[in-house]
Structure 1
Amino acid sequence: MPLRSLIDLFLLAALWGASFLFMRATAPLFGPIALITLRVCIASLFLLPLLLMQGGGSALRQHPFRLLLAGLINTAIPFVLLAYATLSLTAGFAAVLNATAPMWGALLGYLLWQEPLARSRLLGLLVGFSGVALLVWDKVSFKPGGSGLAVVAGLAATFCYGLASHLVKRQLAGVRPLAVACGSQLGAALCLLPLALWQWPAVHASTAQWGQVVMLGVGCTGIAYILYFRLLSQVGVARALAVTYLIPLFGILWGYLLLHETVTLRMLLGGLVILLGVALATGVLPRARPASPR
């Protein structure tokens, strides 16, 4: 991988890992719905001029309902669920849960679209969900003060990501990636804005807290999308998806350094098992082949 692409990969992982830090810091103040509405509105305002300057505005007019659906399933619902999860879970823990998205994608592809699932990929699903069980074993409590609902919300968010990956691939094939990114943010904003205005909290945020919200929208969403699509064009899908394995590392790192979150041995072991399962389920680790006769 070229050095510039490698730098883009690590910067993208750092930004997406930081999104859990910013949600963890600001969700208690703004609430999940208002925070994510601000995030997608800021991202839309950042991405729309870039798309229009590249002459991609026609894609928004040609596929309004498909982009709205993508915005709902790939952005609005999972973003709100993850913001809700960070009310109870640490940024690092939520980032590790986020790594299960490719497993859901592989499972849904097999169940709903009959995509082939080799034995090694099936083993990956079993390994990955075993890692989830190890990770959340002492967290799934639905008693008052427990984190059970937060864990369920985090996994439901990654389920949405897995489902959206197939819907976008089938419904928006051929649409330029920046148009999909911008359109999905606009769609998410349209879905969330009425609800946010209806339930807008009385917020007394500091300048630093507003800066975190802006960074969440511009850096962790707008700039991150640009980096991701540049990676797709330069190194292809398989290598670009390597960011999946780096996001939990940065999520844990930022939470430890900036929020002084505790990193437990179970979190590390569960995360490693999940990543191993993701690697197997997505075909990153190829099956061993018998040696050919000389």
Structure 2
Amino acid sequence: MKKSLTYTYVLLVVSMMLWGGTWVAGRILAQSMHPMSAAFLRFAFASATLLIMCWKAEGRMPRLARNQIMPVLGLGATGVFAYSYFFFTGLQTTSAGRAALIVACIPVCISILSALFYKERFGPVRIIGALTSLIGVSVVIADGSPLTLLSEGVSRGDFMILGCVVSWTAYTLGGRSVMKSLSPLMSVAWSCFFGMILLLPAALAGGLASDIGNIQPVGWFCIVYLGVLATGFAYFWYYEGITVIGASRAGIFINTVPVFAVIMGFFLLGEPIHLSLALGGLMVITGVYLTNRP
């Protein structure tokens, strides 16, 4: 059992590192191709990887019942299509570490909406955690002076990353009902597949063919990294961890994703770590922990 737990913890940490690296890989791709081209290629690789995993797990290619198609299509529209647009568009102008810290408030947003719509408990500690995390996000966005948001507003890049927060929150809440009849792995696989189909027309309109012809080796590495490692394997390992130690304990590991993103952004992209970024990031992660602690 001890070995099994150690193995599980290692897989969870590796998954978080891979997710942290998505912001660096996404930042690199966002500088060299159209956002929709990058998103389509990422989820083309991800869909193939996840469907193969489903086939190995089920012994056959997974199928959807007729009444499951529209809900899963909704997941693809929010968690893949919309999120990808905001993700790659935002990373054209926003640094990887900064974007990851903004997105780190997603668990808080999910907890707030779950309390409102699903009547989940939301006591004083969780309220303090939510406020701490949201103030931390404002510190990150405003470079240490949240009051300037009232006069100067939010930059386009940061606004796009906030779109990631909205779309992924919608994806997560929608997934609650879908996963009553589908396994997490099948839900992710099919949502990736439908999202890829939705991305195709936008990618073609954005110059997918010319983008593919101009991709450098580092670009292909980033695409494979995002699609196969960070989406396919990391999601599978994360859900495997949930089955061993539970959702609450596994969810705590997600707090390390922005930390890995900031560190990788510093070493791989030369992104500076300002005091406001460190302070705001600490507030975000602390708030997320208080809001989602068991």
TM-score normalised by the chain length of structure 2: 0.89
In 1: Cα distance, 2:179 partner to 2:123 partner: 27
Letter in 2 for 1:170: S
Aligned to 1:170: 177
Q: Counterpart of 1:118 in structure 2: which amino acid?
A: G
What's the offset of the Cα at 1:192? 0.9
Q: Is the 8 A contact 1:67 1:183 kept in 2?
A: yes
- Equivalents in 2 of 1:147, 1:263: separation in Å? 20
- 2:222 is equivalent to residue 240 of structure 1: no
Instruction: Say if 1:89 and 1:147, in contact at 8 Å, map to a contact too.
Output: no
Aligned to 2:276: 266
Unaligned runs of 5+ in 1: 287-294
Q: Could you tell me how far 1:261 is from its partner in structure 2? A: 1.0
Q: State the AA in 2 paired with 1:138.
A: D
User: Which one of 108, 113, 133 corresponds to residue 128 of structure 1?
Assistant: 133
Asked whether the equivalents of residues 141 and 148 of structure 1 are also in contact (C-alpha less than 8 Å), the reply is: no
Identity fraction in percent = 24
Which residue of 1 is the match for residue 204 of structure 2?
A: 197
Question: 1:17, 1:248 within 8 Å by CA — same for their partners in 2?
Answer: yes
What amino acid does structure 2 have at the position aligned with 1:36?
A
In structure 1, the partner of 2:105 is 100
Counterpart for residue 228 of structure 1: 238
AA aligned opposite 2:64: L
Residue of structure 1 equivalent to 2:12: 9
Report the alpha carbon displacement of residue 142 of structure 1 after superposing the two structures with TM: 12
* Mapped contact 1:142–1:148 kept (Cα < 8 A): no
**1:61 shift after superposition:** 4.2
Partners of 1:79 and 1:241 lie apart in 2 by 22
Match of 2:41 in 1: 38
State the SS of the aligned residue for 2:23: helix
1:205 deviates by 1.9
Structure 2 partner of 1:290:
none
Report the counterpart of residue 193 of structure 2 in structure 1: 186
Q: With structure 1 as the length reference, what TM-score do the two structures score?
A: 0.89
Q: Secondary structure at the match of 2:64?
A: helix
What's the counterpart of residue 254 of structure 1? 264
Rounded to whole Å, the distance in 2 between the matches of 1:243 and 1:20 is 17
Residue 64 of structure 2 is aligned to residue 60 of structure 1: yes
Given that 2:9 and 2:241 are in contact with CA atoms closer than 8 Å, whether structure 1 keeps it comes out as no
Q: Name 1:209's counterpart in structure 2.
A: 219
Verify the 8 A CA contact 1:135 1:266 in the aligned structure 2: yes
Post-superposition offset of 1:78:
1.3
Aligned amino acid, residue 48 of structure 2: L
8 A Cα contact 2:103 2:162, kept in partner: yes
On the 8 A contact 1:228/1:240 being kept in 2, the answer is yes
Q: Secondary structure at 2:273's aligned position in 1? A: coil
Do residues 161 (structure 1) and 171 (structure 2) align?
no
Indicate conservation of the 8 Å contact 1:76/1:188, yes or no: yes
Q: Decide which of 24, 30, 33 is 1:27's aligned counterpart.
A: 30
User: 2: distance between equivalents of 1:105 and 1:180?
Assistant: 18
Contact 2:34 2:206 in 1 (8 A): no
Measure, in 2, the Cα distance between the counterparts of 1:156 and 1:122. 23
| CA shift in 2, pair 1:112/1:156, >3 Å | farther
Q: Which runs of 5+ in 2 are unaligned?
A: none
